[in-house]
């Protein structure tokens, strides 16, 4: 599911024909904002196995001699949520050991570090998609994580790196289209619809739609849990 598909469906639910709706800039941004709000709610409800990734990170020793793993590394993926740190790649080594860590604002602090150098593997989740109707400007310099809207495609794109200036949104080396899994389609569109209804003073209808959105989220979580056996469990060395 892409931004444009969800955006137009929400407009239809509100009774606004997407092709002719003349909403103001602030009204358009309100729709994208509530979409982002419900996307974050759904994103944080479960790990969502198809969103889990693995990244290799080099250990950095701080001024106090504590081993850390930086959360942001230029040219490397952004860690949207960390679920584990391992001494080797757990996808290829059954002897992978899970290490203790403490999350910080800019780094993971290792509770028990066997070395102050080398690399470890981090299991993480993609950051939650964000949405906007603020158009891309080729003269603006965008930082990593900045989100823009392209009127030609009707989609939102997130900057993949810092110092992003003049690179077309179709350049996949610099931009990534914002998408969410199809199984969260109803959660996000119904949830966003409920917020717009509430903002419009239609609280009773908003409560009904919010309940539908939460029921869809519960259903998606149950489906996720029932499918966990489709992927092999990580095996850890017993000592």
Q: How confident is the model at residue 49 (pLDDT cuts 50, 70, 90)?
A: confident
Of 108, 125, 142, the one marking the end of a domain is: 125
> Considering the domain boundaries, does residue 86 fall inside one?
yes
How far CA 91 is from CA of 96, 123, 126, 209, in Å, comes to 9, 10, 18, 41
Residue 161 per-residue DSSP state: S
Q: In terms of domains, do 35 and 143 share one?
A: yes
Q: How confident is the model at residue 135 (pLDDT cuts 50, 70, 90)?
A: very high
Domain endpoint, select from 65, 91, 125? 125
Q: Do 18 and 72 fall within a single domain? A: no
Q: What is the pLDDT of residues 187-207, one digit of tens each?
A: 999 999 999 999 999 999 999
CB 103 within 8 A of CB 124: no
The pLDDT value recorded for residue 113 is: 58
Residue 144 belongs to a domain: yes
Specify if 10 maps to a domain.
yes
For residues 176 and 193, membership in a common domain is answered with yes
Q: Which helix (H) or strand (E) is 82 found in, with range?
A: strand 81-86
pLDDT of residue 217: 96
Alpha carbons 179 and 202: distance in angstroms, whole number: 29
Q: How many residues does the chain have?
A: 239
Domain stops at, among 94, 125, 156: 125
pLDDT beyond 80 at 214:
yes
User: Measured between alpha carbons, how far is 27 from 31 in angstroms, rounded to an integer?
Assistant: 7
Residues 145 and 216 occupy one common structural domain:
yes
User: Residue 231: is its pLDDT beyond 60?
Assistant: no
Judge if pTM exceeds 0.95. Answer: no
Q: What is the mean pLDDT of the chain?
A: 89
Are 149 and 200 in the same domain? Answer: yes
pLDDT bracket for residue 114 (50, 70, 90): low
Output the CA angle 59-61-62, nearest 5 degrees: 135
pLDDT higher than threshold 60 for residue 233: no
Closest CA to 25 of 134, 131, 130: 134
d(CA 60, CA 226) in angstroms, rounded, equals: 39
pLDDT at 235 over 80: no
Q: Give which of 213, 177, 183 is closest to 198, Cα–Cα.
A: 213
Q: Is residue 62 part of a domain?
A: yes
DSSP classification of residue 66:
-
Sheet with 175-177: strands ordered across: 147-150, 155-159, 175-177
Q: Answer whether residue 21 is part of any domain.
A: yes
pLDDT of 56-82, one tens digit each?
Answer: 999 988 888 888 999 888 777 778 889
- Domain count of the chain? 2
* Range 162-174 average pLDDT: 94
Q: Are 138 and 215 in a shared domain?
A: yes
Q: Are residues 222 and 133 in the same domain?
A: yes
The range of the structural domain enclosing residue 146 comes to 3-46+128-226
* Distance from chain centroid for Cα 217: 16
Question: Per-residue confidence at 232, pLDDT binned at 50, 70, 90?
Answer: very low
Residue 207: which region, alpha, beta or left (left: phi > 0; alpha: psi -120 to 50)? alpha
């Amino acid at each position: 599911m892409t931004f444009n598909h969800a955006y137009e469906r929400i407009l239809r639910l509100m009774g606004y024909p997407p092709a002719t709706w003349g909403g103001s800039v602030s009204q358009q941004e309100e729709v994208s904002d509530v979409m982002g709000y419900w996307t974050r709610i759904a994103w944080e409800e479960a790990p969502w196995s198809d969103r889990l990734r693995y990244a290799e990170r080099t250990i950095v020793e701080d001024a106090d001699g504590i081993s850390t793993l930086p959360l942001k590394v230029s040219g490397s993926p952004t860690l949207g949520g960390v679920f584990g740190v391992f001494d080797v790649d757990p996808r290829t080594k059954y002897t992978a050991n899970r290490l203790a860590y403490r999350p910080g604002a800019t780094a993971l602090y290792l509770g028990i570090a066997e070395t102050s150098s080398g690399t470890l593997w981090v299991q993480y989740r993609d950051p939650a998609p964000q949405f906007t109707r603020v158009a891309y400007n080729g003269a603006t310099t965008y930082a990593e994580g900045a989100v823009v809207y392209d009127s030609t495609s009707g989609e939102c794109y997130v900057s993949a790196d810092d110092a992003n200036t003049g690179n077309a949104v179709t350049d996949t080396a610099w931009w990534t289209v914002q998408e969410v899994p199809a199984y969260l389609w109803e959660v996000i569109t119904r949830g966003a619809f409920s917020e717009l209804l509430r903002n419009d003073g239609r609280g009773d209808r908003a409560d009904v739609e919010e309940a539908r959105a939460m029921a869809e989220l519960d259903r998606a979580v149950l489906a996720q849990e029932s499918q966990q056996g489709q992927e092999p469990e990580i095996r850890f060395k017993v000592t």
